[in-house]
């Protein structure tokens, strides 16, 4: 999916991903971010997650925007599922 399709889907579904934010344009040093950005120098898309200290871990690299946003969506859905699992344990 494209970036616009991804953003529309996320807006419609409004997944509960806990403390995480979603970043679709660049690599950030903020904590608890699921993100995607295009590395101009390497000509590759990076799908990443940051920890509480803002340290990035690249989860996946992709060659196209569509592949990158498909994978970011999958990462968001994993976090949604994990968050639902934690909520179930708290009950």
pLDDT at 21: 97
Which parts of 1-91 fold into alpha helices (H)? 3-13, 65-90
Query: Would you say residue 91 lies in a domain?
Result: no
Is the pLDDT at 87 greater than 70, yes or no? no
Is the pLDDT at 91 greater than 60, yes or no? no
Is the pLDDT at 81 greater than 80, yes or no? yes
With 0.85 as the threshold, say if the pTM is over it: yes
* pLDDT confidence bin for 84, thresholds 50/70/90: confident
Query: Would you say residue 13 lies in a domain?
Result: yes
Query: Would you say residue 18 lies in a domain?
Result: yes
Q: How many CA atoms lie within 13 A of 50 on its CB side?
A: 20
Query: Would you say residue 49 lies in a domain?
Result: yes
Structural domain total, the chain? 1
Q: Which domain holds residue 58?
A: 3-82
* pLDDT confidence bin for 12, thresholds 50/70/90: very high
Query: Would you say residue 38 lies in a domain?
Result: yes
- Mean pLDDT (the chain) is 94
Query: Would you say residue 90 lies in a domain?
Result: no
Query: Would you say residue 62 lies in a domain?
Result: yes
DSSP for residue 1: -
């Amino acid at each position: 999916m494209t970036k616009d399709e991804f953003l529309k889907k996320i807006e419609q579904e409004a997944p509960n991903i806990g403390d995480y934010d979603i970043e679709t344009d660049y690599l950030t040093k903020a904590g608890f971010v699921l993100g995607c950005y295009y590395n101009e120098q390497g000509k590759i898309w990076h799908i990443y997650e940051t920890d509480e200290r803002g340290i990035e871990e690249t989860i996946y690299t992709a060659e196209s925007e569509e592949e990158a946003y498909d994978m970011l969506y999958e990462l968001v859905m994993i976090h949604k599922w994990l968050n639902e699992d934690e909520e179930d344990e708290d009950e």
